[in-house]
Amino acid sequence: MTNPTAAMLVIGDEILSGRTRDSNLHHLAQELTRIGISLREARVVADAHDAIVAAVRALAAAHAHVFTSGGIGPTHDDITADAVAAAMGAAIGQRADAMAILAAHYDRAGLPFNAARQRMARIPEGARLIENPISAAPGFTLGNVHVLAGVPDIFAAMLAGVLPTLTGGPPLLSQSLRVNRGEGEIAGAFGALAAEFPDLAMGSYPFVQNGAHGTNLVIRGTDPARVDAAMLRLTRLFG
């Protein structure tokens, strides 16, 4: 497996209380798959310093990349930048480059660049800023941790700026076959096929449509010839 691995850390009480439905994980998963980075794990934690620090440390040690979402706004519950700095052992303060970006943004908008807004210039020493083309307040990359906003449009826009800077592996290919039979009917032969192709991932996803049971069979891997060979076998079995 030559694909770099990644993890996501979703930060926010609002996800765990059920107030808000996270959608950034799904978007990140699709984008990383496209560029050949393998998302292996995700965690959701509350706006709690110790929980963020522990999760960042665990994920950054285990994966090539960690992407965080949420907690970089101007309010008292926005503590991600400080927690990530603590997790990575970096100093943090209001940085001149981030201050300049924010000052220019609020000047253009005719809004006061007050103390709360200046908090968004808190960036760890040694971090590289991530551009926020929507609301200006930057994210940052510190070591292998990419810190992005939680609002979905902004998360996506910031991620689009980060992805071209990353080196992926071969694209993670996926082919699927829709079968009008229940999982329990195809499981035996499908499992035997999966055992013949240990270099591929094979999954089955049941559905019910108009009262009838069906299954989507999915084959994933990085070698196009192997994926094709397995798909041919699959189609002969169930097509």
Burial class (CB in 10 A: 0-12, 13-18, 19+), 228: middle
Residue 104 interacts with a copy of itself (CB under 8 A): yes or no: no
Q: How far apart are CA 139 and CA 162, in angstroms?
A: 10
36-75 binders of a copy of itself (CB under 8 A): 39-47, 51, 73-75
CB of 107 to a copy of itself, least distance (A): 13
160 in contact with a copy of itself (CB under 8 A): no
Near a copy of itself by CB under 8 A: residue from 11, 142, 159, 202: 202
C-alpha 154, offset from chain centre = 14
| 219 is an interface residue for a copy of itself by CB under 8 A | no
Per the CB < 8 A criterion, the answer to whether 72 and 51 are in contact is no
Smaller CB separation from a copy of itself, 125 or 223: 223
Radius of gyration of the chain (CA): 22
201 sits near a copy of itself (criterion: CB under 8 A):
yes
Write out the two tokens for 132. Answer: 């926020």
Q: Which stretch binds a copy of itself (CB under 8 A): 91-99, 139-147, 194-202, 224-232?
A: 194-202
List, as one string, the DSSP characters of 138-165: -EEEETTEEEE-SSHHHHHHHHHHHGGG
- 119-158 footprint of a copy of itself as x/- string (CB under 8 A): xx------------------------------x-------
**CA 120, 11, 168, 124 torsion: positive or negative?**
positive
Distance of alpha carbon 134 from the chain centroid: 19
14 in contact with a copy of itself (CB under 8 A): yes
Contact residues for a copy of itself, defined by CB under 8 A: 12-23, 25-33, 39-47, 51, 73-77, 106, 111, 114-117, 119-120, 151, 172, 174, 182-188, 190-191, 194-195, 201-206, 218, 220
